[in-house]
Structure 1
């Protein structure tokens, strides 16, 4: 009995040691397919659907249907993962579904071709269905990948390293998308509906090819987490949902994560519209400015991997990112067209803020879970549900008002600005969400919940 206890303690201690860089790398690339398709989804879906003839409200319905399907899928998939485990199987199945369905979203209306119909209602239903299927696969990959962090290691600092690595490769995926888009938009013209669909179909095929290559690297390089099995039985027991609903920290982390995703997704959805319609910048700006944002985010994410983490630092860095976003939001609200070049400088700070709030917000989930691994997938799934539903509803409300206000955009004089929906979406919404997120984070008590606060290098050499 004594020897078995010692062995169990040795096994648990082995999971508190820092991870090697190669392990962190293999994990980090596992979300590339999700990231590159999600970047295309939030950047170009509304633009694509309106370019092929759907109204802004119908385009918003397609977006909302995907978000709702994603939200509910995360809850059920999280529960199934907590019951049965097998993270890599869920990840592989979700990736396969994403790869198959994503090209159907941007590949034109298949039922319209079969029925030889030009009905906008059929188009909307078709795109909404494929959007829902795509998002269900996306949810399976996301929840399994996020939950793995807590079952790979108990080292709180290494958990942040895994999250930071994932965020860094998310920036790589976003940059890859814009590089692909620049090439496709440069070599082909969208003078007809068919040509527009062809452009986005090639972008979708390219994104799937690149993303699947990294999924294969992840599946080959990452072992199925054994931490859940090797820990003591008390830590392996499946935790009921009610347990989390009794923790104040759960609600605090949920609010912060929800607001962080609102900041990132809503701002990304309206960035291209803002620089072209509101600021009337060159067409290249809708690729260059997002590229600057993601380059800065990538650099900051890499730097965050070298910091020893504890609860106070998580709070401090999140608050710093939120404050930066507040200043960026106010600057965007007040930026006139006559000095639109300042948007390049603002994009640098947006990139820094995005990395700070995203890495720390996701890491707060790991702090909440700690060593209670029996509910890690439920926590990730439930928080993702709130994220998807809130983002879908926010974009639907904004896009619904867009149809009423967009005709007024072109009548403004060159040296003025109007408080358009895109300006609110890119400036006001992120600024308000950041303010609330900082306020909630300030009152969190994270130090007492961290399993072991290790002041040591983030990664092993």
Structure 2
């Protein structure tokens, strides 16, 4: 990496300031993936198909927004010279804070319109929320390569970011556990609306406080400090010496490893998000646990994730990124197998705690390592880092939306949160979607064997113009 690169100081304050920058997103995402479908079907009495359509619509908006935000964030210098990454982050947080509370505050309690009318009401709110979420996510992720060129420091930033993600999820599950109290029912009903109203207002308030902390405490380095050194034409190599060159989005689209890591990241997100979304359906339908367990079991998953996130750094140092990722895949395979054999009988159904521990540990390992692989791919080419993260997120959001839509299309429960036909169906979702995604991720991980992720390969570029050479703005085509 370029020796001229100056990053921020490696202090606990800087690491924590960065880590809290995604908390608002994490709190909202936890409610979105864990409780949205259960809330829409059980509390708002939404048709299961249209509930899936609404989530798919949101994921499509998010998928389209991520590369757009990535390109614009790379191209602009920020709003009012505030900083290109932090400007987009602030814009996204404002959109999330203004739109998200209305998604979980049911305005249809006094009357019950059709599901189509409800969809029309929710769609604009979801669009604003998802655009904001994408802006916040991409700008926050693309700060990592900008803050430092040290692999160990980047790992710490990724780990800190994930720790706050886990803490955010734990906060949501603890709050809903408290708000649900000792309700003996196993399914959500319209009478549970006040639980979600209180919950969404609390988490948005916490998230706003964290956004303020991030913008005050995390300093964005000037782009000029990250400009590449001027190199002569004779220094440009045909294959791998591209560290001093400005990498364009078109250049990334010509990289094989760009697609390999995109699929790995997509599979990671499928495992985490689909299991998180349908765990709240699996618990009442497949193992017949009380309503409070839709908070307790996800809490177990994320406590396991939190504990494991402290260990991943040491495992990575000992055996490397790819073998650590493989370890995560094995944990997911173990959890899927366990979910297959858990039954409804009292005592047997409590085995779900063990499967949840494996799911949490495996998910945290995969997410930390897939983000680290992405940061390795970007390397010192931070001028287009937001485009890379945006593209990765595009495949993630689109695949998750399509997967949920397909699952909801065949959902046997209709508008109900619980039904007899759902027992085998939701068990199969918890088994085969994570296991199949893990198998696909394994194939692409094996395709990376022997490759240096951050070593880009390009064709010899045409001679730079005299003006470009003087400005130090050589690009790779």
Q: Give yes or no for TM over 0.5.
A: yes
CA contact (8 A) 1:270 1:425 kept: yes
Tell me the number of residue pairs that the alignment of Structure 1 and Structure 2 aligns.
433
2:321 corresponds to which of 314, 319, 322: 314
1:36 and 1:397 map into 2 onto residues whose CA distance is 26
Shift of 1:335: 2.1
Alignment pair present for 1:229 and 2:225: yes
Matches within 5 A, 1:266-345: 266-305=274-313, 309=317, 313-338=320-345, 339-345=348-354
Shift of 1:318: 0.6
Show CA shifts across 1:336-371 (max 9, x none). 223111111111111110110000011111111111
Which residue of 188, 193, 204 maps to 1:197? 193
After alignment, is 297-306 or 341-350 more displaced?
Answer: 297-306
The match for 1:30 among 3, 21, 34 is 21
Q: Tell me the distance in 2 between the aligned counterparts of 1:192 and 1:330.
A: 28
Higher fraction of helix: 1
Unaligned runs of 5+ in 2: 78-83, 231-242, 456-477
Give the aligned partner of residue 472 of structure 2: none
Post-superposition shift, 1:204?
0.7
Residue 82 (structure 1) aligned with residue 82 (structure 2): no
Deviation at 1:424, TM superposition (A): 2.3
Matching of residue 209 in structure 1 with residue 213 in structure 2: no
Q: Following TM superposition, by how much is the alpha carbon of 1:206 offset from its aligned partner in structure 2, in angstroms?
A: 0.5
Q: Please report how far the alpha carbon of residue 84 of structure 1 lies from its aligned counterpart in structure 2 after TM superposition.
A: 1.3
SS at match of 2:201: helix
What does residue 60 of structure 1 align with? 52
Query: What does residue 392 of structure 1 align with?
Result: 401
Q: Does the 8 Å contact 1:63/1:128 carry over to 2? A: no
Give distance in 1, aligned partners of 2:399 and 2:339.
Answer: 23
Name the SS for the 1:136 alignment partner. Answer: helix
Any conservation in 1 of the 2:48–2:414 contact (CA below 8 Å)?
no
What per-residue deviation string (whole Å, max 9, x for no partner) do you get for residues 131-166 of structure 1?
Answer: 111111000000000111111111122111111110
How far apart, in 2, do the equivalents of 1:131 and 1:392 lie? 13
Larger deviation: 276-285 or 163-172?
276-285
Which residue in 1 is equivalent to 2:40?
49
Aligned-pair distance for 1:309?
Answer: 4.4
Q: Which residue of 1 aligns with 2:381?
A: 372
Cα 1:19–1:99, aligned 2, differ >3 Å: closer, same or farther? same
Secondary structure class of the residue paired with 1:137: helix
Query: Does 2:148 correspond to 1:146?
Result: no
Q: 1:11 to 1:238 in 2, by over 3 A?
A: closer
TM-score of the aligned structures, taking structure 2 as reference length: 0.84
Q: 2:164 aligns with which of 156, 165, 169?
A: 169
- 1:213-260 superposed Cα distances (whole Å, 9 cap, x missing partner): 111111111001336633325678753322112111101100000000
Q: Which runs of 5+ in 1 are unaligned?
A: 1-7, 452-461
Root-mean-square deviation (CA, aligned residues, Å) is: 2.9
1:353 to 354, 362, 365: 362
Give, in whole Å, the separation in 2 of the partners of 1:212 and 1:340.
Answer: 39
SS in 2 for 1:403: coil
**Aligned 8 A contact 2:48 2:411 in 1:** yes
Contact 1:228 1:373 in 2 (8 A): no
Go from structure 1 to structure 2 and tell me whether the alpha carbon gap of 1:109 and 1:261 turns closer, same or farther (over 3 Å shift): same
TM-score, length-scaled by structure 1:
0.87
Q: Please give the secondary structure, in 2, of the residue aligned with 1:275.
A: helix
